[in-house]
Amino acid sequence: MAKGQGITEKFLEGARSASTAPWKVAVKPFRAAPRVYFVGDSYVSAYLVDTEEGLILLDTVMFGSVYMTLESIRTLGFDPHNLKHIMLSHCHHDHDGGAEAIRQYTGAEIWLSAIDAEFKTYTDKEEAGPIYASPQYTPTRFYDDSKPMRFGSVTVQTYWTPAHTPGNTSFLITSPGDGGQPLTAAMHGGPGPISVNEEYMAKHNLTMDDLRKQFMEDGYEKLRHLHVDIELPSHPPLSDILDRIPEDRMDYRPLIDPDAWVRFLDARIPRICKSDPNWRK
Ligand SMILES: [Zn+2]
């Protein structure tokens, strides 16, 4: 990507390449946290979590890029057939486009929030264009934010973080670091603009103001007080993670930055609401 580009330009260029020539956005996988590996591309992230109870994939990248995600998993020395869970942050094609293909190939279960499982029925219609055509999937597992999920030594805690989509979900993954001390990595699932359509809002009696309020209360205020050692962007252009990949791609330690999470949220999240002068907060 050209230097000096803003986030919007980077996004548009990345989306274009990822849609039409995915090999142009290929990224060699790397270890992003003790048991977390980046297996996405330079436009959109996917993270592989290695647990004693099988592999977990956080988001899938786009349908046309799935072959690269599978290749990344193998490059890291893992067998995609050990994938047990595909956990989706939300129901947009750039994050869930590969879900059905990967499910059929590996037998992994697909997780989504119950709210986005319903919202998906509204967006499926909108995203049916040829570029975005992805095999449709049906989630069979739904998040329960009230308690962490344990997979051996790895803990996954989900957080409902509307309103990029109404059921948007963020993840905190805690696992023992190489020195034994636990480290937490986190991916905010929805730092993009509110994408809820009018049909959905009318059905659920919601206004844009309601969604902006939800965004600040659940997507920002609640999360910024959490301790996070390593921030994992859901799209690489949202952070400098790809510029900071260590020379030794298996050494996550240079990515530890306990202030990065709050910096990311402070810079990114409130802009979505505060950019609207009609928003009251
Ligand atoms: Zn999205």
Distances in whole angstroms, Cα of residue 183 to Cα of each of 20, 67, 93, 148 = 37, 30, 30, 15
Cα 150 to middle of ligand 1, angstroms: 27
HSE-CB for 268 with a 13 A CA cutoff: 27
Cα 84 to middle of ligand 1, angstroms: 24
Cα 257 to middle of ligand 1, angstroms: 25
CB within 8 Å of 6: residues ≥ 6 apart: none
pTM here is 0.94
Cα 208 to middle of ligand 1, angstroms: 17
Secondary structure of residue 115 in the 3-state scheme: helix
Cα 217 to middle of ligand 1, angstroms: 19
| 211, part of any domain | yes
Cα 92 to middle of ligand 1, angstroms: 5
Q: What is the DSSP letter of 239?
A: S
Cα 38 to middle of ligand 1, angstroms: 18
Cα 59 to middle of ligand 1, angstroms: 11
CB within 8 Å of 271: residues ≥ 6 apart: none
> What is the reported pLDDT for 90?
96
Q: Which candidate, 137, 183, 186, 139, places its Cα nearest to that of 158?
A: 186
How far is it, in rounded angstroms, from Cα 254 to Cα 33? 10
How far is it, in rounded angstroms, from Cα 261 to Cα 122? 32
* pLDDT by 10s per residue, the chain, length 281: 444 567 778 778 888 888 889 999 999 999 999 999 999 999 999 999 999 999 999 999 999 999 999 999 999 999 999 999 999 999 999 999 999 999 999 999 999 999 999 999 887 665 545 455 789 999 999 999 999 999 999 999 999 999 899 999 999 999 999 888 999 999 999 998 888 888 999 999 999 899 999 999 999 999 999 999 999 999 999 999 999 999 999 999 999 999 999 999 998 888 777 766 555 44
Residue 201: Cβ-neighbour burial (10 angstroms; 0-12, 13-18, 19+): middle
Cα 190 to middle of ligand 1, angstroms: 6
Cα 94 to middle of ligand 1, angstroms: 7
Strands 36-38 and 30-33: antiparallel
Cα 248 to middle of ligand 1, angstroms: 31
| 17, part of any domain | no
| 15, part of any domain | no
Cα 254 to middle of ligand 1, angstroms: 28
| 140, part of any domain | yes
Cα 278 to middle of ligand 1, angstroms: 23
Residue 268 in contact with residue 191, Cβ under 8 Å? yes
CB within 8 Å of 192: residues ≥ 6 apart: 164, 235, 272
| 59, part of any domain | yes
Q: Note down the domain range covering 237.
A: 25-274
CATH number, domain of 85, equals 3.60.15.10
| 154, part of any domain | yes
Tell the residue number behind the tokens 């505060």, with chain if given.
274
> What is the reported pLDDT for 247?
93
> What is the reported pLDDT for 126?
57
Cα 34 to middle of ligand 1, angstroms: 26
Cα 164 to middle of ligand 1, angstroms: 6
Cα 188 to middle of ligand 1, angstroms: 11
> What is the reported pLDDT for 1?
43
How far is it, in rounded angstroms, from Cα 96 to Cα 132? 11
**Number of structural domains found in the chain:** 1
Radius of gyration of the chain (CA): 18
Cα 35 to middle of ligand 1, angstroms: 25
Cα 90 to middle of ligand 1, angstroms: 7
Residue 71: Cβ-neighbour burial (10 angstroms; 0-12, 13-18, 19+): middle
Strands 83-87 and 54-58: parallel
Cα 178 to middle of ligand 1, angstroms: 33
